[in-house]
Structure 1
Amino acid sequence: MTIGYTFSGGMAPEAPGLELYERYPAMRDWIDQVVDWTGIGVDRLLTEDFSGYFYSDDSRCDSDVRFVAEIRQAAYSIGIADVLTDMGIRPDAIAGSSIGLMIGASLAGAIGRRELLELLRHRTSLPLAPEGEPARAVAVAALSGPDDLERYVGDHRRDVYLAAEIGEFIDGGRTMYMFSGYLDALRELAAAEPEGQVNVITSLGGAHSPLEQFLYDLREPFINEMTFRDPEVALYSALDGRRLVTAEDVRSDFLLNTVRTTYMSNVTKGLAGHGVELAIVLGVSSPVAMFKFPFPILPVLTAADFEQVGGVIHALGIELKFV
């Protein structure tokens, strides 16, 4: 049986806590390495809650908070993978959306771990909008179908773009989407819909849209200086579902991720096409259990999750690869 790993995008404002750090040597060793490389203390990395910054309508996260939140997302996910490795569990395929693809690329051997952290430092040091231009933002909404989506994006809304397809709810009928655009345009969109239908997040700037071309241009020189390698584990893109085979494939995906829509359906398409029969969802992520997948999924975030991993894998007839 084939195991896949999948990683979500975004940052991690909520603190995961010290449980895994204190319980598993592999997590502790890795987090201590992250602390040494980044200068972020263990308590700040694992216990400080940034929710007030992220979800306040009036605040913007400064670059330091965004840096810690992105490092947390990457570090905790990689640490969980290290604990799974100690248990004899390794992925046959990896896929991820946005920063999740970058985390996956590191675990697939396409970029070094320290280089990933330095990329996140660079990403979060950049401005959220060009000087003198309107503020960007993102918004999320659960829509019932393509007709709803057409009301949100298109020629009639030139300043709003589909940033991400987050997932189809398991009970059917609705899909969660993220939109990106100018803040005023997103607020106008939200005001035209029933209260609570569209939730605008003002603190993080935009994402995955042509309005982010300025970030593409700022990131490109840094990414071009990074060392990319051909992935050692099958790696699939959320941009189009294709397998990233070469170092250049990975480099290009890192850049295009800035200005193009990401699709969870492409993540699942890539993994399913590889023959994945169980997907382990690693890290501080969205509540993926509410979304539909074409194969069983197993979110792993807590010690209790690790305690059930072995039983689930045994029940599915997977032979662990101890080395």
Structure 2
Amino acid sequence: MAKYAFLFPGQGAQAPGMMKDVCEAYPECKKVLDDVSAIWGKDVAKLMWEADAAELSRSDNSQMAITAASIATVKALEAKGITPDAVMGFSLGEFPALYAAGVLSFEDVIKVVAKRGAIMQKVCEQIAQENEGHAPGMTAVIGLGPDQVKEIAGKCENVYAANMNSPVQTVLSGTFDGLTQAEALCKEAGARRALRLAVAGPFHSPLMQRAADEFEKAIADVTFNDPKIALFSNVTGKQATSGAEIKKNAVLHLIQSVLWTDEEKVLLDMIKSSGEEWKLYEPGPGKVLSGLWAKCGLEIGELSCSEINTAEALNNL
């Protein structure tokens, strides 16, 4: 019998109308959205299916929409008898991963994500005001190695290497002006692309320290249990085994880099050492992580990661 690893997408995976066909085909999914709406106090289904891209990209909206969609997909997979033996999430995706691993209850993960999204949105707006209305953000640099991108970031004010996505893709966080300078330098250095992302702020960088401080207070009374299955951390790039460590990392997560390539390697090493058959799924909107897995630079053989973001994909399992 195969084992399963779930890789949960992060902010930026959202799209208007996302996963509507899944929720219409699988009652378990629509129930998750109804339950999320009851806890959050807003209609998450309406947000996912009727909001425009600008409204959906706000941190306080996109984080909840992606979390709800990811957990809904987990429920549809459970209905097919597919449950994870290992989980990891990219950035925001760590929170549905925490739910899937039993670290946070359903109610707690929705409340925590609501607080996180609201805090991050507020701080991003403050940073924009402090920079003459120019919104901070993130830029994906494609075609340069991570060390080269880090060196370029060091030459720019308020720019940081935030996400280690693949050997040839690194994401920068920074102020509007800082990213504009960094994008030009990356292109001069031979980058194939330097693409500004559809996110609301300079995530996973020291520019989010105010958000980290506020978020730490917001989750002080929330219980983080020890994970029931293998769970990997963006902050350390390694497996996380205690609720206390995971809670600490949830705060550091806002200001430290996402070590995704490290996590991929640790997961692959675990799979290879197990000697068992594994299948990798990306439950939730988009297919970014499936693409990154294919380009991770590791000897993955035929072990692909399949996106599960349509009713057809679920029906074919």
TM-score by length of 1: 0.82
Contact between 1:97 and 1:237, CA under 8 Å: does it hold in 2? no
Does 2:72 correspond to 1:79?
yes
Confirm or deny: 8 A CA contact 2:37 2:43 kept in the other structure: yes
Partner of 2:9: 8
Q: Partner amino acid for 1:257?
A: H
CA contact (8 A) 1:167 1:176 kept: yes
Taking the aligned partners of 1:226 and 1:42, their CA distance within structure 2 comes to 23
2: CA distance between counterparts of 1:27 and 1:207? 29
1:267 Cα deviation (Å)?
2.6
Name the count of aligned residue pairs: 293
CA distance in 1, matches of 2:45, 2:84: 30
What is residue 213 of structure 1 aligned with on the other side? 209
1:166 has 2:156 as partner: no
Query: CA 1:121 to 1:150, structure 2 compared with 1: closer, same or farther past 3 Å?
Result: closer
Of 282, 297, 301 in structure 1, the residue corresponding to residue 309 of structure 2 is: 301
Structure 1 residue corresponding to 2:92, chosen from 80, 89, 99:
99
Shift of 1:116: 1.4
Higher deviation after alignment, 131-140 or 87-96: 131-140
Match of 1:320 in 2: none
Contact residue 156 and residue 181 of structure 2 kept, 8 A: no
Q: Distance in 2 between matches of 1:297 and 1:69?
A: 23
Residues 8 and 97 of structure 1 are in contact (CA less than 8 Å); yes or no, is this contact kept in structure 2? yes
Correspondence 1:1-323 to 2 at 5 A: 1-11=2-12, 12-41=14-43, 43-52=45-54, 65-126=58-119, 127=122, 128=124, 130=126, 133-134=130-131, 136-146=136-146, 148-154=148-154, 156-168=155-167, 175-192=168-185, 193=187, 197-201=193-197, 204-275=200-271, 277-291=278-292, 292=294, 293=296, 294=300, 295-309=303-317
**RMSD of aligned alpha carbons:** 2.4
Check 1:272–1:129 CA distance in 2 against 1; reply closer, same or farther (3 A cut).
same
Structure 1 letter corresponding to 2:166: G
Question: Where do 5+ consecutive residues of structure 1 fail to align?
Answer: 55-60, 169-174, 310-323
Q: Check the 8 A contact 2:20/2:49 in 1, yes or no.
A: yes
Give secondary structure in 1 for the equivalent of 2:68: helix
Shift of 1:150: 4.4
- Give the Cα–Cα distance (whole angstroms) in 1 for the partners of residues 198 and 47 of structure 2: 23
Q: Which SS does the other structure have where 1:138 is aligned?
A: strand
Q: Distance in 1 between matches of 2:147 and 2:163?
A: 17
**TM-score, with structure 2 as normaliser:** 0.84
Q: Shift of the alpha carbon at 1:147?
A: 5.9
Q: Which segment is superposed worse, 273-282 or 238-247?
A: 273-282
Shift of 1:286: 4.1
User: Would you identify which runs of 4 or more consecutive aligned residues in structure 1 move more than 4 Å?
Assistant: 129-132
CA distance in structure 1 between the partners assigned to 2:145 and 2:227 by the alignment: 36
The question of whether the paired residues in 2 share the 8 Å contact of 1:93 and 1:274 is answered with: no
Cα 1:220–1:148 change in 2 (3 A) is: same
- Identical counterparts, % of pairs: 22
Counterpart-to-counterpart distance in 1, 2:244 and 2:87? 17
2:275 corresponds in structure 1 to none
Q: Indicate how the Cα distance of structure 1 residues 22 and 255 shifts in structure 2: closer, same or farther if over 3 A, else same.
A: same
Q: Does the C-alpha gap of structure 1 residues 225 and 139 become closer, same or farther in structure 2, counting only changes over 3 Å?
A: same
- Greater share of residues in helix: 2
Q: Provide the residue aligned with 1:317 in structure 2.
A: none
CA distance in 1, matches of 2:99, 2:282: 16
Determine the C-alpha separation between the residues in 1 that align with 2:158 and 2:59: 25
Distance 1:234 1:147, change over 3 A: closer
1:21 and 1:245 map into 2 onto residues whose CA distance is 33
